[in-house]
Chain A
């Protein structure tokens, strides 16, 4: 089955060996999220220093798409400025794994691909809103998260 549009070598490899998998000790942000229909369920852990994502990890159970996308997202976002997180769009993540087509072809599986991004956007929002008591700085992250899929 070479040329499978979803299950590429990269996705299978990441699902077997996810990157940044595990917990952070004393994380500043913990965000849990799940897809009620398929059973994907992850926790995202973040530390923020100087307005940068100084560390990020995830753990949980999910399908190959969810595991691969969570891995790649954490790789892409680690060390980035919070302003970059605000700008970060789902297309960038999907393109990294060649999954842009899911938006059109699989409204069900797109949820697996974007679960971690949803957790990230919500997590950063809650950091500003609850920890820093500064919801304005979070901008429309919450709205973006709730409209991801």
Chain B
């Protein structure tokens, strides 16, 4: 596909909700894509088709429907592996989302590998989902949780990682590939290479990266990588934990139950092979199958084209927003160093008031702390406004966002 703005605008016809009118018959301008993206007909239809024509439990029965469902479910696993350049699709574990993926690692890997006095390193710009599971683990184990701070540009102060690694106590470094608030792209390769030399494991929260740029997990070479389907056109309730096979094989299970077992006796059980050892219970079959269509859709456009489109929108928005008086922009000023996420404050108007007023103009952004209270403390604000872009957004929509801010100025007599 050619990556012109016209071709991206063409995509909008696949997303029925984008035709919605909201509030006082205003055209919907959906700029809350970092929270969740809209779904194209291809995904919605695949889910209906599954329930209408194939619905069955998987992996066990031998009847026709069960075979079809199992095949479609496992084909999604293979598709994800290929999409991320993972050689062995048994390393793809289905979870509910990024949060569950991180919790799985904290519980199943963390409990076996983290001892009293050990250190887990995270960063100041993490989502709560990459802080709280590690607080739970380090508190239980009497281990320590340490943070890599951010500088005034919203970038990680990597030298701090060197200091932590020198202690010899670090067991895991965990960070988001792209910050959900600042949009900062973390120097993942640099962090991984430092951790490799120190023999330390690395987990990457890819919730804001996999949907927006080409990710090659073989090339990147972390130990764990997690992301969510619903932030990349897929249904809610589907996420992926990828980890190296050697690590997964040594790990204890997370949830116990059906499908994750080989043999169950009264007092002992042997575990199933990968990936099923970590997929207890009936999985989210319909949504996993729907997620395959989302990946097909993104592949057809091309991840590099998607990245370029968002970069163009981000540059355009940053240029326009810089010119508005009273606006505070957070994060690096260099668009190339960030994803399609712009956090801002407008004069001293509380973000919730900004959000409510521009919602009346049909503009959907996120106002709040974005599940990143540690970062809000650092920025010394209670909350921010966040506009985040995806494939179907246009420059005209950014113009509507900008002009809706004029309404805020009017209401608050700025």
The interface size bin for chain B is: 10 to 19
B367 proximal to A (CB < 8 A): yes
Minimal beta-carbon separation of A106 from chain B (angstroms): 8
Chain A residue at minimum C-beta to C-beta distance from B369: A39
User: Contact partner of A38 among B360, B383, B411, B412, CB < 8 A?
Assistant: B383
Residue A117 at the chain B interface, CB threshold 8 Å: no
Please indicate the chain B residues that have their CB under 8 angstroms from the CB of A41 in the complex: 382
**Which residues of chain B are within 8 angstroms of A1 by Cβ–Cβ distance?**
357, 407, 410-411
> A-facing mask of B373-412, CB < 8 A → 1, else 0?
0001000001100000000000000000000000100111
The reply to whether A64 and B369 contact each other, CB–CB distance below 8 Å, is: no
Interface segment among A4-12, A21-29, A87-95, A137-145: the answer is: A4-12
Q: How far is the CB of A91 from chain B (nearest CB, A)?
A: 21
Q: Beta-carbon contacts of A53-92 to B below 8 Å, as 1s and 0s? A: 0000000011111100000000000000000000000000
B411→A4 contact, CB < 8 A: yes
In the complex, chain A residues 107-149 whose Cβ is within 8 Å of any chain B Cβ:
109, 112
A-B pairs with beta carbons under 8 Å apart, 27 shown: A1-B357, A1-B407, A1-B410, A4-B357, A4-B411, A7-B356, A7-B357, A7-B411, A7-B412, A38-B351, A38-B352, A39-B350, A39-B352, A39-B382, A41-B382, A62-B350, A63-B350, A63-B351, A63-B352, A64-B349, A64-B350, A64-B353, A64-B412, A65-B353, A109-B352, A109-B356, A112-B352
CB < 8 Å neighbour of A37 from B356, B368, B407 = B368
Contact-size category for A = 20 to 34
Complex formed: what's the CA distance from A12 to B376 in Å? Answer: 25
Q: Indicate the member of B349, B356, B360, B368 with the most A CB atoms within 10 Å.
A: B356
Q: Which residue of A lies closest to B350 (CB)?
A: A63
CA distance A40 to B367 in the complex (A): 12
**Least distance between A11 CB and chain B CB atoms (Å):** 9
Report whether A12 and B413 are in contact in the complex, using a CB–CB cutoff of 8 Å: yes
Expressed in whole angstroms, the Cα–Cα distance for A129 and B350 within the complex equals 35
CA distance A93 to B341 in the complex (A): 38
Q: Which residue of B lies closest to A12 (CB)?
A: B412
Q: Contacts of B368 on A, CB cut-off 8 Å?
A: 37-39
Known: A39-B351, A63-B350. 11 other contacts (CB 8 A): A1-B411, A4-B411, A7-B357, A7-B411, A12-B411, A39-B350, A39-B352, A39-B368, A62-B382, A64-B349, A65-B352
CB neighbours (8 Å) of B411 from chain A are 1, 4, 7, 12
CB distance from A36 to the nearest CB of B (A): 8
Q: How far is the CB of A68 from chain B (nearest CB, A)?
A: 11
In the complex, chain B residues whose CB is within 8 Å of the CB of A38: 351-352, 367-368, 383
How distant is the Cα of A132 from the Cα of B353 in the complex, in angstroms? 40
Residues of A within 8 A of B349 (CB): 64
Given A65-B353, A112-B352: A39 in contact with B383 (beta carbons within 8 A):
yes
Complex CA–CA separation, A106 to B407 (angstroms): 20
Q: Mark B106-123, 1 if CB is under 8 A from A, else 0.
A: 000000000000000000
Shortest CB-to-CB span from A43 to chain B, Å, is: 14
Q: Max chain B CB contacts within 10 Å: which of A12, A39, A62, A109?
A: A39
The answer for the CA separation of A112 and B413 in the assembled complex, in Å, is 21
A67's nearest neighbour on chain B, judged by CB, is B350
How far does the alpha carbon of A62 sit from the alpha carbon of B352 in the complex, in Å?
9
> What is the CA–CA distance of A106 and B382 in the complex, to the nearest angstrom?
21
Shortest C-beta distance, B380 to chain A (Å), equals 11
Q: Which residues of A contact B410 (CB under 8 A)?
A: 1
Q: Measured between alpha carbons, how far is A12 from B408 in the docked complex, in Å? A: 11
Within 8 A of A (CB), among B241-297: none
In the bound complex, how far is the Cα of B353 from the Cα of A112, in angstroms? 10
Q: Are A6 and B382 in contact (CB under 8 A)?
A: no
| Residues of chain B with a CB closer than 8 A to A65's CB | 352-353
In angstroms, Cα B149 to Cα A84, docked, is 50
Q: How far is the CA of A63 from the CA of B408 in the complex (A)?
A: 13
